[in-house]
């Protein structure tokens, strides 16, 4: 009896087209990146029974196809484009076309076999979009407020009107976010658990709910790695380089960093941990990263166990994660 060969598929995604390559057979086919095209893609893949389908995370263009594949039971994952490009260079593939990109993705699927992760449902994606949009408007408002300080007086009225409009839009988005969270019992419980931690505000909590759904579903170490909060070694021979955090979900990590800054001031457990590292001679940035990871580990354990903050048990929660 012939041994069955596992099938690995790469999908190069653009706004309108899905270019699909099969590693084993070398087959290549194009589909429209819309509902009808994705339906034909699923029909084409069905007899192949792929072991893994890999596509690049390309803004929003990959989401419909990825969601449909996962819903149909096809093991599929979107990966960081930079990782795939580095892989292509290491394989000597410097040329770049849609067909070559799909073939590289198929080879990447076979050689690297990245783990399949849960796909956020539409409700969670909508919440993440609202939170992201609010952050964008807050950043624009901050820029306008800074711009006003150096603008000529003749522009004050125009800038003030824009700031007032931005403030109203930010408030509207905030109400929409609050309504979404309060209308979902599971989200509301997670929100209340996270905001019970001194230093963790509402913005941090909704960022985690919308963009870091693995929180509470994995170990503390895995959560830190996914977020890019785990220091990476930079050693070579006798050289011992400085550990650095890199990769992961920068937007959520940035929010966690700000929460850690707040927690160092008002959270007795995080403050004591940070001050102990400083007293031991650790650089402040190193101590900050360690405190951020400590806070993440505690949040992960609390969300997992659905427990509220208590000073006397927070440290234990972090250790058990």
| 210 in the same domain as 97 | no
| 37 in the same domain as 64 | yes
Does 3 map to a domain? Answer: no
Report how many domains make up the chain.
Answer: 3
Does 215 map to a domain? Answer: yes
Q: Is the dihedral of CA 320, 221, 75, 181 positive or negative?
A: positive
The number of beta carbons lying within 10 Å of the beta carbon of residue 224 is 24
Domain end, chosen from 139, 164, 180, is at 180
Task: Quote the domain boundaries for residue 301.
Answer: 184-234+242-321
| Per-residue pLDDT of the chain in tens (321 residues, 90 and over written 9) | 343 578 999 999 999 999 999 998 889 999 999 999 999 999 999 999 999 999 998 778 888 899 899 889 999 999 888 889 889 888 887 778 889 999 999 999 999 998 887 777 889 989 999 999 999 999 999 999 999 999 999 999 999 999 999 999 999 999 999 999 999 999 999 999 999 999 999 999 999 999 888 888 888 888 888 777 666 555 556 656 555 555 567 888 899 999 999 999 999 999 999 999 999 999 998 899 999 999 999 999 999 999 999 864 555 555 554
| 135 in the same domain as 103 | no
| 76 in the same domain as 35 | yes
Does 104 map to a domain? Answer: yes
């Amino acid at each position: 009896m012939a041994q069955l060969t596992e099938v690995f598929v790469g999908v190069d995604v653009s706004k309108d087209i899905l270019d699909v390559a099969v590693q084993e057979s070398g087959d290549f086919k194009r589909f429209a990146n819309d509902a009808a095209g994705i339906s034909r893609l699923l029909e084409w893949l069905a007899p192949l029974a792929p072991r893994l389908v890999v596509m690049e995370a390309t803004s929003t263009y990959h989401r419909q196809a990825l969601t449909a594949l996962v819903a149909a039971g096809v093991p599929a994952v979107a990966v960081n484009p930079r990782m795939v490009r580095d892989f292509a260079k290491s394989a000597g593939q410097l040329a770049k076309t849609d067909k070559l990109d799909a073939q590289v993705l198929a080879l990447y699927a076979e050689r690297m076999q990245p783990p399949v992760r849960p796909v956020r449902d539409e409700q969670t994606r909508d919440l993440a979009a609202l939170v992201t949009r609010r952050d964008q408007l807050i950043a624009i408002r901050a820029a306008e407020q800074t711009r006003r300080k150096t603008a000529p007086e003749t522009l004050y009225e125009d800038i003030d009107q824009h700031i007032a409009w931005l403030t109203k839009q930010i408030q509207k988005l905030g109400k929409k976010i609050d309504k979404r969270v309060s209308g979902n019992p599971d989200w509301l419980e997670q929100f209340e658990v996270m905001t019970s931690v001194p230093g963790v505000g509402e913005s941090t909590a909704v960022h985690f709910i919308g963009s870091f759904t693995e929180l509470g579903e994995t170990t503390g170490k895995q959560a830190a790695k996914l977020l890019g909060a785990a220091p990476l070694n930079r050693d070579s021979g006798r050289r011992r380089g400085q550990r650095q955090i890199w990769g992961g979900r920068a937007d959520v990590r940035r929010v966690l960093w700000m929460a850690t800054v707040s927690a160092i001031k008002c959270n007795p457990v995080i403050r004591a941990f940070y001050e102990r590292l400083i007293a031991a001679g650790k650089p402040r940035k190193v101590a900050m990263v360690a405190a951020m990871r400590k806070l993440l580990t505690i949040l992960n354990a609390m969300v997992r166990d659905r427990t509220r903050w208590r000073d006397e048990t927070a440290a234990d929660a972090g250790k058990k994660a």
